[in-house]
Amino acid sequence: MSAALAPIPLETETITRERDALQRTWASEPGLLGWLREVNHVSIGKRYVITAFVFLLLGGLEAGVMRLQLSRPENRILNPDSYNQFFTVHGSTMMFLFAVPVMLGMGIWLVPMMIGTRNVSFPRLNAFGYYTYLFGGIVLYGAFLFNTGPDAGWFAYPPLSTAFTPGKRTDFWAQMITFTEIAALAASITLIATIFKQRAPGMTLNRIPLFVWSILVISFMVLFAMPTVAVASIFLALDRLISTHFFNAAEGGDPLLWQHMFWFFGHPEVYIIFIPGLGFVSHIVATFTRRPVFGYPMMVLSLVATAFMGFALWVHHMFATPLPQLGQSFFTAASTVIAIPTGVQIFCWIATIAAGRPRYATPFLFVLGFFIVFTIGGLTGVMVASVPFDLQVHDTYFVVAHFHYVLIGGALFPLLGAIYYWFPKFSGRLMSETLGKWHFWLLLIGVNVTFFPMHLLGYMGMPRRVYTYLPETGWGPLNSLASAGAGIIVVAMLIFAWNVFSSWRNGDVAGPNPWGADTLEWATESPPAPYNFAHIPVVQSPAPLWEASGTMPVVTGMRTDVREVLISSVMDAHPCGKHEHPGPSIWPFLTSVCVALYFVPVIFTPWGAVLGTVAVLAGAAGWGLPHATSSKPLPAPGSMYKDEPLTPEAAR
């Protein structure tokens, strides 16, 4: 049986030999086929993040074109039809193809390193999730390129999205939703199992890094939020394809059912997006003040409380519908109360900063930007939580300003700070601080110049989703200012793109831990080896790298000839088993293709469901059944490992 030992120094020769063996076992395969068969979390996580940033670029370009259109009255750059497609695809891209995937992607990339393991629990499911997400994005943009982009808004309210939008535009939107929700669900199950069962020995619940907590919390939120929108979008597609009546009031259906289902997903979605941002902030604050974050238990409880409350607010998106007054009061109260756990976290960070000696490096500047922008968005959130005020500004530019402050402040600023912070781990090189500071200041100015005037435009009565306006409305100057701000954001993001590109090629070599941070990912090489840790660390404190005194306690006795990981108990992270991970496989990719063979044909014919079911079952069969050509190395002679043919003798 296993045993805790008095620390025994490892010989350099042993370490080198084991590293070589691990490299052979965990290495990625070369070529396109190797790329498609890849199951390593670092590669899949990077793909998620890079793909999401490509979609951010596309969504940003759409926003830029819309700002050009609105920069002066009676502009004719976009016609009404194109404008409808642009704002729908912009919103759908940012919510479904950028914000959620990038946060889950960061989780997939970082969590195994932070908790001291070698890969996520279900590597193939994880890869399948990525391809499914990618196909969802390709479906949406494929349709958009052929003038079939969805045009009923990112929340696609019926009856606009049913009776008043013939053609296939909304159907493409509905299927894109299903693709991306399946991907998010796959990622969430993978991350929950990884965090519960693969933490390094000693990483008890109160030693889990705050970013990992944030990913655990949103993974649970995804389990309940995403099925809701998936079911709703399937109902919508069925109403359009086979004449069901879920949302058709004439036959006993109810358009408000859609709103309830959509916002039961849609409001938690906001928290799914920005709770990981709070995790980023905690790590950056700790590292750049050189202090553990003040009030760790309160920080964790606040994240959990936010998740629970996040599911009790959805109706505040529906204050303009005929709701019972008691319901309005409840959801107003709930919408106000949720400011408390967020406030607790902000005060904990302020206490940490006040007690430390902050280093104003670029990641930390983005945290300060987060405080400013997110707090403004939070305050206007408390304003729109009030029913009378909400009715006045409903569907005006005030709401547009509010949610852009929340999402840019709560998610984009921490994410960009996180990119600067973890870029050394991503690439092995540091990003330029000079360019980073230019990026930060221009973005902070640009965001405020763009979105602050929208509050005033909302007060002046400018509705959202209008493709143009008359000069007599007086909205021209503030719109011009907002569009100029968008130009500043474009410049800021170009600087960021150049910084990433040039630093990846020529940045200063970072080394394993350039910031002197405290969490386990900084104990790996930069970029990490495919197995992350040659020896699984043993954790003895919440800040293992700060409290280690020249030695790092590790686990020995793990096999190096198969992809073996250590399994630990949920609460105390006590080692209780091992698990051999599967190697590279083409089946996650092929099964994802099969899923596409389901969802794309059903846009056009209900028989697509029959074809799709057969295809998905075929994909699952290929994935699940044993393969004669399995590349799994044979177990070593005398091994304790049990995944080998079971003889009657062994069974006895």
Partner 1 sequence: MTPVMDTELVPPPQRLVSAFDASGIEEKYFGTDSVSWWGTVGFMVIEGFTLILCMGAYFYLRKNELGWPPERTPLPDLVVPTISLATLLLKLVPISMAARKARRWDGDGVRRWLAITLAWNLVNLGMRIAEFGALRVRWDTNAYGSIVWATLFDHAYLILFDLFETAGIALVFFRHQETHRDFGAVDDDAMYTWFLVLAFIPVYVMLYWFPRWT
Residues 223 to 282 in contact with partner 1, rule: CB under 8 A: 223-224, 227-228, 230-231, 234-235, 238-239, 242-246, 248-249, 251-254, 257, 260-261
Q: Would you say 433 or 561 has its CB closer to partner 1?
A: 433
| Subset of 125-164 contacting partner 1 (CB under 8 A) | 125
Q: Would you say 395 or 643 has its CB closer to partner 1?
A: 643
Apex 553 CA angle, 578 and 545, nearest 5? 110
Assess 641 for contact with partner 1 (CB under 8 A): yes
Token pair recorded at residue 581: 């991970």
Q: Would you say 167 or 516 has its CB closer to partner 1?
A: 516
| Subset of 524-553 contacting partner 1 (CB under 8 A) | 535-536, 538, 545-546, 548, 550-553
Q: Would you say 54 or 555 has its CB closer to partner 1?
A: 555
What is the size of the binding site for partner 1 (CB under 8 A)?
103
Nearest Cα residue to 140 out of 131, 149, 132? 149
Residue 224's φ and ψ, nearest 5 degrees, are -105, -25
Token pair recorded at residue 42: 């670092």
Stretch that binds partner 1, among 51-59, 73-81, 562-570, 583-591 (CB under 8 A): 562-570
| Subset of 195-224 contacting partner 1 (CB under 8 A) | 196-198, 201, 223-224
Assess 491 for contact with partner 1 (CB under 8 A): no
Among 359, 497, 604, 614, binds partner 1 (CB under 8 A): 359
Task: Determine the Cα–Cα distance for residues 384 and 381; give it in Å rounded to an integer.
Answer: 5
Q: Would you say 301 or 636 has its CB closer to partner 1?
A: 636
Q: Would you say 325 or 506 has its CB closer to partner 1?
A: 506
Strand partners, 609: none
- Among all chains, which residue has been given the structure tokens 């200012």? 481
Among 49, 94, 187, 361, binds partner 1 (CB under 8 A): 361
Assess 122 for contact with partner 1 (CB under 8 A): yes
Minimum distance, C-beta of residue 18 to partner 1, in the bound complex (Å): 10
Stretch that binds partner 1, among 20-28, 274-282, 334-342, 515-523 (CB under 8 A): 515-523
Among 20, 29, 81, 644, binds partner 1 (CB under 8 A): 644
- Annotate 107-130 with b (16+ C-beta within 10 A) or e (fewer): bbbbbbbbbbbbbbbbbbbbbbbb
Site string for partner 1, 583-602 (x = CB under 8 A): --------------------
Nearest Cα residue to 217 out of 284, 268, 264? 268
Q: In this structure, what is the dihedral angle of CA atoms 342, 343, 347, 353, given to the nearest 10 degrees?
A: 50
Task: Determine the Cα–Cα distance for residues 202 and 603; give it in Å rounded to an integer.
Answer: 50
Q: In this structure, what is the dihedral angle of CA atoms 452, 458, 462, 466, given to the nearest 10 degrees?
A: 70
Q: Would you say 187 or 482 has its CB closer to partner 1?
A: 187
Question: Is residue 642 classed exposed, middle or buried when 0-12, 13-18 and 19+ CB atoms within 10 A define those classes?
Answer: exposed
Q: Would you say 57 or 555 has its CB closer to partner 1?
A: 555
Q: 3-state SS string over 84-109?
A: HHHHHHHHHHHHHHHHHHHHHHHHHH
Residue type, 477: P
Nearest Cα residue to 344 out of 378, 302, 372, 294? 302
Under 8 Å between Cβ of 229 and 222: no
Minimum distance, C-beta of residue 10 to partner 1, in the bound complex (Å): 5
Site string for partner 1, 7-26 (x = CB under 8 A): xxxx----x-----------
Minimum distance, C-beta of residue 182 to partner 1, in the bound complex (Å): 10
Residue type, 174: A
Assess 183 for contact with partner 1 (CB under 8 A): no
Task: Determine the Cα–Cα distance for residues 373 and 413; give it in Å rounded to an integer.
Answer: 9
| Subset of 401-460 contacting partner 1 (CB under 8 A) | 430, 432-434
In the chain the first and final C-alpha atoms are separated, in Å, by 21
The conformation of residue 530, written as its DSSP 8-state character, comes to: T
Task: Determine the Cα–Cα distance for residues 253 and 357; give it in Å rounded to an integer.
Answer: 60
Minimum distance, C-beta of residue 569 to partner 1, in the bound complex (Å): 8
Minimum distance, C-beta of residue 180 to partner 1, in the bound complex (Å): 15
Minimum distance, C-beta of residue 335 to partner 1, in the bound complex (Å): 22
Q: Would you say 151 or 239 has its CB closer to partner 1?
A: 239
Assess 47 for contact with partner 1 (CB under 8 A): no
Among 216, 353, 558, 573, binds partner 1 (CB under 8 A): 558
Task: Determine the Cα–Cα distance for residues 531 and 243; give it in Å rounded to an integer.
Answer: 52
Residues 6 or more apart in contact with residue 60 via CB below 8 angstroms: 489, 490, 493
Minimum distance, C-beta of residue 479 to partner 1, in the bound complex (Å): 38
Q: Would you say 354 or 570 has its CB closer to partner 1?
A: 570
Under 8 Å between Cβ of 404 and 452: no
Nearest Cα residue to 68 out of 95, 86, 88, 53? 86
Strand partners, 463: 396
Q: Mind giving me the DSSP string for 274-321?
A: HHHHHHHHHHHHHHHHTSPPTTHHHHHHHHHHHHHHHTT-GGGGGTTS
Stretch that binds partner 1, among 76-84, 155-163, 186-194, 398-406 (CB under 8 A): 186-194
| Subset of 80-119 contacting partner 1 (CB under 8 A) | none
Q: Would you say 231 or 304 has its CB closer to partner 1?
A: 231
Q: Would you say 68 or 567 has its CB closer to partner 1?
A: 567
Q: Would you say 32 or 625 has its CB closer to partner 1?
A: 625
Assess 3 for contact with partner 1 (CB under 8 A): yes
Among 358, 461, 487, 514, binds partner 1 (CB under 8 A): 514
Assess 339 for contact with partner 1 (CB under 8 A): no
